[in-house]
Amino acid sequence: MQLSNKDKQTLRSLAYRYSYIAHLDVQKERLERYYRTNALKPVRPVVLIDEVPWGEIQDPALVNVCDQSLAWLETHLRRVLYQWDHFQVDLLVLPFYPVVKQIRWVKGWGLDIKEHQITSTTGSHICAHAYEDQLRNEDDLSKLHSPEIAYDQESTEAAYAVAQEVFDGLLPVRIVGIGGLSYAMWDHIARYRGVENILTDLYERPAFMHATAQRFMQIARDLFTQLEQLELLDPSVPLVHCTPACAYELPAPNFSGHVRPCDVWGRCAAQIFGVVSPAMHDEFDLTYNAELFKNCGLLYYGCCEPLDRKIELLRKRFANLRKISITPWADPARAAEQIGRDFVMAAKPNPAYVSSPIFNPEPVRQEIARYCEAALAHGTTLEFVLKDISTIANNPHNLTQWAATVQEIINCYYG
């Protein structure tokens, strides 16, 4: 597309500061800590803030003024610059601007999701869902088919051309892939069934639930094959689901240019299994994901489900496991004792502590201290990611104060 002089001037002014930040020496230090974290080396914990409810931050610096067709670029630039100024923690700005390859869906899953949704008013992606059960029996399962995707090269190259014009003389622009292979099987199943129906049938109809898991695993395999064949994978992305992804082992030593599963991260989770026994979690989720992700170079398991009592199961199932999510509903001391020096403890601090109109630093201090003490006691590599932030009570200063409080406590333990 043709940029107007006004839009180009606006975007260039944002890009100039973005480029300046990308070239700061601190970026090299942070990049090294990202790598050392995933290499399980002794290192100061990386701290990141993601999934921000941007709709609650009313600041002129975040208001887009360019043509709507440029929102994909302008919004990203404005948010990175705002976060850098107000709650950057260990935000990494790369020395090039990435344009992610665009994917076009040619064919869907065979069934449309039917739901009642209460959308967020805070700018967060977090919504409330009530799903209609569409997978009651084997006949319903047969209606599903594997989606078909395509690489939208035209759209990608158009975005690349715009970014090149904006960053000309400031920063290189690269077309990058989507990263690794990510699939939360039971999240997808829940969208077709609802959580209560799944939990009931795990107990009452285990054979049918195994058939369901098998069907969704096959769908994932087909998707993974397409992503590889279309050259959409990328071993060099900085993040895997909001956490550091940089790893010395990726791509694999025999990498020749074509990106394979062994060259990238895999990520899976089973959030609704937070309420089932370890044995049931293992039977209905881990056995399938162990097969699905066995060829990935490294694996990150977990999201919001408490895993502190299930780490030995993860250890047994995944030979490529490198990172485990430990949420506010897990015991960090128990988790660190089981993790030891073998995996990264991806700590997810409680986002409720930034949801009040007036920020109280004390529970944050206590929470971060518990994680640090547990990690140091067992030699466990630790990282922090504040995410799933549904609200900040319209007070962005909560995030600024949270960031300062966390760094203060980490200083006490890691210097």
Summarize the confidence of residues 391-402 as an average pLDDT.
97
The DSSP secondary structure of 247-275, one letter per residue, reads -TT-S-TT--SS--GGGSEEEE--GGGGG
For residue 74, the one-letter residue type is E
* Angstrom distance (rounded) from CA 34 to CA 99: 21
Residue 125 confidence (pLDDT): 67
Q: What is the pTM of this model?
A: 0.95
Q: How are beta strands 97-100 and 173-176 bridged, if at all?
A: parallel
Residue spans of the domains in the chain: they are 5-414
Residue 390, both tokens: 């549904």
* Angstrom distance (rounded) from CA 46 to CA 384: 6
Summarize the confidence of residues 372-378 as an average pLDDT.
98
Phi, psi of 301 (to 5 degrees): -110, 135
Residue 123 pLDDT > 70: no
Residue 298 confidence (pLDDT): 98
| Confidence class for position 129, pLDDT limits 50, 70, 90 | confident
Summarize the confidence of residues 366-388 as an average pLDDT.
98
For residue 233, what is the DSSP state?
A: B
Q: In the predicted model, what is the mean pLDDT of the chain?
A: 96
- Give the class (CATH, top level) of 5-414: alpha beta
pLDDT tens-place string over residues 269-323: 999 999 999 999 999 999 999 999 999 999 999 999 999 999 999 999 999 999 9
Residue 128 pLDDT > 90: no
